[in-house]
Chain A
Amino acid sequence: MEITFVLNGRAVVVDVEPTRPLLDVLRTDLGLTGTKQGCDHEGECGACTVLLDGRPVRSCLTPVGKVTGRCVQTIEGLGVPGDLHPLQIAFIETGAVQCGFCAPGVLMAAKALLDRTPDPSREQIIEALDGNLCRCTGYARMVEAVQLAAARMRGESLPAPWAERSVIGGSPLRADSIAKVTGQAQYVEDVVMDGMLYGAVLRSPHHHARLVSLDAEPAVRVKGVVRVLTSADVPGKNSFVEYSRDEPILPPIGETVRMIGAPVALVVAESPAAAQAGLASIAVEYQVLPYAFDPTETLRADAFPIAGEDNVLTEFQVRHGDAAAVLAESDVVVETGYDTAYLEHAALERETLLGYLDEADRITVVGGTHQPHWQQRYIAQALALPQEQVRVILPPTGGTFGGKQDPWPFLAVALMVYHVRRPVRLTYSRRESFDASPKRHPYRMGFKIGATRDGQLTGIHVRILCNTGGYDGHGQYIANYALTASGGAYRWSAVDGLARSVYTNGPKAGQFRGFGTAQSTFALECTLDELAERLDLDPLALRLQNILADGDRSFLGYPVAETMGYREVLEAVRPHYQAYCQEVRAFNELRSQQGEPLRQGVGLAGMWYRFGKSGSLKSEAHAELAEDGHFVVYCSAPDYGQGTNTVMSQMAAEAMEVSRDGIELVNADTALTPDSGIQGASRATYWVGGSVVAAMTRLREEILGVAAEMLDVSPAVLSVEHGRVAVRTEPGRAVSLVEVAREFDRMGKRRRVAGFFDLTPNFLTENRPEYVPFFVTGAHVAQVEVHLETGTVRVLRVAAAHDVGRVVNPLDAVGQIEGAVLMGLGAALMEEFIPDHTTGLSDYYLPTAQSLPEISVHLVEVGGKFGPLGVKGLGEAAMLPASPAIVNGLSRAIGARLRTIPATPERVLEHIHRSRVVR
């Protein structure tokens, strides 16, 4: 049917099925890919928001027939680079764009608001953005951005709020934000290649089953199906054992599949519909086996075997002193049991990868990941190819939070390209992403901590079961991380810790922001709060009293090497803590007198977080003086929204002592960049940044050396500027960098140099991988309100302090922390993936803009001893104290302890009914 409408001011005609979603017509038929899809056309995420006659609508729920004769405006019509809308400028200037995937929808919703309400209140802004999910920013920067844009559109002349701040490398504004706010950033889903095919995955519908037979023949005959692949089609190793011990790429006949969503076969087809039809035609026979989701159950002696010995993947212990004896002698012992749920990363961009043969005929896969070189290696092993014949490139990525570290989709796409020799794109549906992508491990935790009457901590006994689900998925290391976090930055005279990673038939668990440390931090910090209550001690004082001093043996049995700043972060939240407490006391007295069913509480939590990957204390990056005189930095610090593209450029600029604008960054492409190590454990700024600084410092020295020869002066009087090297003492005397580059070439000197950041010589190697002595700390305080009759909870205010060593990018640091607060709030109050029940964004409750508390962030700078420029890690660490602070506040508000999260209204109400305080 022919449909005519006005699109961004120009009449367009499309000949399409009128019931098709406007979203699909915009993206596919009209090639306007700025409008994003985050859910399965269910109206659950808001990423597809466009304006219809000026009002925001979900284009995924709008049949295109409906827009006949009407005006549609998309992000492409809002503003273009060079002529940005004030909202786009404000989003960039306030740091409201991280991964950027939700940004087009949010911007359109904000535009609709400002068109009607030029001077909106904070509440009106929140309401306007409320249906647009964002997983990165925590919404706070966005609200600020809309306020800024509104003020400017009303004629107020306001500077960029962060422009005055002097930062490393000049400006904190992100280089890639212009593309993201204009819809021009090319995420994988936005890329179409000639001859591109579509991949799809046949997945197990059973929690636990044996694959008895598989007949692909009927699928091969389906029109449009190009190829069906099974385990027999894997030419090399049918595994990625270095990452996950027990996951085949595709299961051979006779093997078990151990979770719903486990992959069984692949279909490559000319269209997504043909791929789906192909999947439906594959005949599979399963022998269904017993299943269980609870690790306590699968550990029982008579449990049905899932994998490993006795269904245990790995275990890890920490023991020093006689914890039993110390606890027996303690004045007080607090014993607790805490449980956490499966969490889904729910990055707004679903798993999407594109594979093709590049110009050098390499199997190339483009997709979001934390470690392109690992994926390259796994692919090479699976395809029995030399590593050089495989290439992995990081595109603009719409968030991962650990979820996109899963190597499986990379292997699947590579295998498809290997067989069909044509470009293949694989996009998970949101449902598929929920079923098959790794989750955060649910923990069952038992803590016993002892103390003297005056609050001196004594012994600690910890038992943790980490539910790894049906597969390893990197859960082999989780037990270690679980224990690492469970002692905190506190002095213990005796420790007895044991954590086990246990198989069940739940979804496989994997990396999730904090990698196994957030759950045990939650339990520890809540248990400490219980101890403070028991002893009637101030929880802040209790923590300060027990802080590890320099040189003290930590919970892990060795001293911490890096500065920790724990006292400083606790002191930074103290004024907030006291103010909240005072306000809450007055609030509760008044409400209690009036008989109103509202109570508030204040919760405090701290944390320590081991940053840096165990096993490797070395990173590599390269710096180049290009022929035309500009600088190029090569590293692998994947930017999936957290801002490494910007931070690496800033640090490079700082090392070269030039401004950031002329520095080109080539990041995360295995054909072009060195392996800088995995981007996990918040190690990028410290380790990769260290190697970038090292490379640029070395290049600078070499440039100065060459220029000094050319100018016949001492290198000490030279300075590098963009385009030239100048003699500081003689204005006007300089040599251009083009000439310097030419001189390098003439001398046969390489213009590209490697830089290494390597702490290996500083630290003993024999104890590694366990021994990693770098920790950061932080503390959050939350003011929480509970409705006593319904159990609903609102977090009103959060103060968050983190020791970042040295601030590289204040906007990004604040944005990371605010985003982490909302993610921690989600984990504390809403988010829970329930196997067999949860299907997607309609029943996995992410925080919306209405959840946003007032957040005060404190960036504490206790300079690091070893890292570049004094920096430390932050991104994951920021997640840790939020949940326990909120749950402590909630528990104090109702006078009963919530020990299972999420604290749903139902769970909260049960505890209110049990509480003696508020009834």
Chain B
Amino acid sequence: MTDYRFPVSVEEALDILDAHAASSTPSGSGSARVIAGGTDLILDMRRGKRNPACLVDLTRIPGLDQIRVIGGVVEVGAAVTFAAIQEHPYLRQHVPALTAAARSVGALGIQTAATWVGNIVQAMPAADGAVVALALEAEARVVDRDGAVWWSVEELFLGPGRSVVDSTRQIVTHVRFPLPGHSWGTSWQRVGRRASLVLPIINCAVRIVLDGEGIEQAVIALGPVAPRPFRARQAESVLTGQRPTDEALAEAARIAQGESDPRSSVKRASREYRLAILPALVRAALHEAVRRARGSER
């Protein structure tokens, strides 16, 4: 029988993970594993991909269900669900891309359980939560016996479903991203085979920071166009210092297309189709983010 534990502190959670680590095999069986929403993990366990001896549920650790806007950052705890993100008034107003991405994950009955942090740790190239985290240049607080380290979210992704984070001995307690400034704008674009309850053919999150009339910073995140959630860095760099004209944004979108290397899927879409629509999504996202950064639209 699997054990199911509700630690009341991160410390206690680490203790439980540790206690099992000693007795686990190299393949990971016998170990304890962190669970938050569980909507992915339970599927993985049914399919035999994971076989933990103990589940360590983070959702009752005090504080981890908080979204805090403090000290120049927005900090989101490991137990914060996509539903909670959607309902947060500050995020709705200032980070609409995050709200929209949260609404894209499965359906409401999944968003009420699934967490943003869990979605990031899963490290799937199409994960809506991971892609928007890239655009926000989010960082994740990875805690283990050696202490807590803030990692750039981007550095966590090793490949499809592979993360730096080892959930049998490490815990991501929080994700944070810089507090939105005045001339900050975000946008979320997504195309799927139907409007909802479906994986994306392409998803795209953009963040723009304006400096006067010019672009101070542009971040363009895309999925699934690479083995990992992907940042179109060349496209970003050509925008830096540019005025956000139609031509400049279109050019950046074309460059993002050139950087992307999506795969074909018989069930969703071909590589060609993904590449064909990608510039349109990036352009639409850039335009919307610029409008929002100018404050003409939130």
Contacts and interface: CB of A to CB of B under 8 A. Distances in A.
Interface in A804-855: 830, 834, 837-838, 843, 845, 847-848, 850-851
A850 B195 contact: yes
Contacts of A851: 194-195
A906 B6 CA distance: 46
Contacts of A791: 277
A543 interface: no
A605 to B, nearest CB: 22
B3 to A, nearest CB: 7
Interface in B251-298: 266-270, 273, 276-277, 280-281, 284
B139 interface: no
A847 B195 CA distance: 9
B3 A909 contact: no
A52 B112 contact: yes
Q: Name the residue among B55, B267, B270 with the largest chain A CB count within 10 angstroms.
A: B267
B198 A845 contact: yes
Interface stretch (A43-51, A341-349, A663-671, A868-876): A43-51
Interface stretch (A61-69, A238-246, A499-507, A683-691): A61-69
B6 A68 contact: yes
A195 to B, nearest CB: 27
B106 interface: yes
Contacts of B270: 906
Interface in A85-120: 109
B108 A109 contact: yes
Contacts of A55: 83, 112
A21 B281 CA distance: 38
A19 B107 contact: no
Interface stretch (A126-134, A440-448, A533-541): A126-134
A322 interface: no
A658 B194 CA distance: 48
Interface residues of A, number: 49
Contacts of B109: 43, 46, 49, 56-58, 109, 131-132
Contact of B196 (A44, A834, A838, A850): A850
Contacts of B6: 68
Interface string B28-47: 00000001001100110110
A19 B83 contact: no
Interface in A565-619: 597
B108 A131 contact: yes
A843 B201 contact: no
Tell me the interface secondary structure of chain A in the complex. loop
Interface string A14-39: 00011101000000000000000000
Contacts of A909: 273, 276-277
B194 A131 contact: no
A287 interface: no
Contacts of B22: none
B61 interface: no
Contacts of A131: 106-110, 196-197
Contacts of B280: 597, 789-790
B4 interface: yes
Nearest to B272: A906
Nearest to B83: A55
Given A55-B112, A56-B109, A65 B193 contact: no
Contact of A58 (B110, B201, B267, B269): B110
Q: Name the residue among A18, A131, A790, A847 with the largest chain B CB count within 10 angstroms.
A: A790
Interface residues of B, number: 42
Interface in A707-762: none
Interface in B76-120: 83, 106-110, 112-113
A160 B47 CA distance: 47
A130 B107 contact: yes
A905 interface: yes
Nearest to B267: A843
Interface string A115-154: 0000000000001101110000000000000000000000
Interface in B1-20: 1-4, 6
A285 interface: no
Contact of A1 (B1, B194, B196): B1
B224 to A, nearest CB: 15
Given A63-B55, A131-B109, A131-B196, A18 B277 contact: no
Contacts of A830: 193-194
Contacts of A21: 42
Nearest to A910: B273
A18 B2 contact: yes
Contact of B269 (A3, A130, A843, A906): A906
Contacts of B191: 790, 792, 905
A66 B195 contact: no
A42 B44 CA distance: 10
A848 B195 contact: yes
Nearest to B284: A789
A840 to B, nearest CB: 11
B45 A905 contact: no
B198 A19 contact: no
Contacts of A834: 266-267
B2 A845 contact: no
Given A834-B267, A906-B269, A58 B113 contact: yes
Contacts of B112: 52, 55-57
Contacts of A130: 107-108, 196-197
Nearest to B246: A595
Contacts of B268: 843
A367 B57 CA distance: 41
B255 to A, nearest CB: 17
Nearest to A44: B197
A847 B113 contact: no
A904 interface: yes
A63 B55 CA distance: 10
Given A56-B108, A843-B267, A905-B201, A62 B196 contact: no
Nearest to B276: A909
A419 interface: no
B195 A1 contact: no
A838 B43 CA distance: 18
Contacts of B106: 43, 131
A60 B4 CA distance: 17
Contact of B38 (A41, A61, A904): A61
A834 B193 CA distance: 15
Contacts of B194: 830, 845, 847-848, 850-851
B275 to A, nearest CB: 11
Given A19-B4, A132-B107, 8 more contacts: A41-B43, A56-B108, A66-B4, A789-B284, A834-B267, A851-B195, A905-B191, A906-B269
8 contacts: A43-B106, A61-B43, A61-B113, A63-B38, A131-B110, A830-B194, A843-B267, A843-B268
Q: What 9 A-B pairs are tightest by C-beta distance, nearest first?
A: A131-B107, A65-B4, A18-B4, A789-B280, A850-B195, A906-B273, A55-B112, A843-B267, A56-B109
